[in-house]
Amino acid sequence: MMRHAAVWMGFACAADVMAHGPRRGANELERAGMEGREGPNGREKCRSDSRLYSFSPETKEKLRKFRLGTSRAKDAQAIIYIIDAKTQEIRPEDDEIYSKLEDLADELPESSPRFILLSYPLITKDGRPSVPYVLLYWLPENCNPMQRMSYANAVELMRTSAQVNRVIEVETDDDIIDIKDKLTGSG
């Protein structure tokens, strides 16, 4: 049962609008235990990403191990993450680590967003080896609007939890395969 979604001055998120309706009065907020969370004009602030989405301890450990284990990698390494629709947990889609970008692109769904952690060894323009560690935000053009909002709300939490400095939005298989151009700044 979906109610209409609206953004009020940056203080409402899709999940709150769907869960609580488009507007709540002060008495309703007090009954819900949410007093003090109103934004301007008495509107409810969006729940923080850290409360809306979660990582299990196992997933946090996998994030840490992947980040540390790929820092000196000789080949590209990528892992796909999803948001579980029932639990709102961000977790690996499976335990596979992709070393070929073509294989990674083939595994991505055509109509659902995903997060991809990518470690991609390359040589910089001045000849130094570098291993950028980035978050690819897979957002195909024809994805479900509710999933699009869900992933958009979680992208910053995923970025900080994975400890990446750069998020790159990708929409097509070619964007994935040609990611080196974006990493080197030539694309």
Q: Which residues of 55-70 are buried (b: 16+ CB within 10 A; e: fewer)?
A: beeebeebbeebeeeb
Tell me the helices (H) and strands (E) count for the chain, helix number first.
Answer: 8, 7
| This prediction's pTM | 0.72
Q: What is the pLDDT of residue 123?
A: 87
Residue 186 — left, alpha, or beta (φ > 0 → left; ψ -120 to 50 → alpha)?
alpha
Q: What is the pLDDT of residue 50?
A: 52
Q: What is the full per-residue pLDDT of the chain (187 aa) written as tens digits?
A: 333 333 333 334 444 434 444 443 433 333 343 333 333 333 333 444 557 899 999 999 999 999 998 888 889 999 999 999 899 999 999 989 999 999 999 999 999 999 999 999 998 888 888 899 999 999 999 998 999 999 999 999 999 999 998 999 999 999 999 999 898 876 5
CB 101 within 8 A of CB 176: yes
Interhelix angle 57-69/145-162, nearest 10 degrees = 60
> CATH 3.40.20.10 in the chain, residues?
52-184
- Burial (CB < 10 A; 0-12, 13-18, 19+), residue 120, is buried
Using DSSP's 3-state secondary structure scheme, residue 130 falls into strand
Q: What is the pLDDT of residue 187?
A: 58
Report the distance separating Cα 83 and Cα 27, nearest Å: 33
Report the distance separating Cα 58 and Cα 40, nearest Å: 39
Q: Which CATH number fits domain 52-184: 3.40.20.10, 3.40.50.300, 3.40.190.10, 2.40.50.100?
A: 3.40.20.10
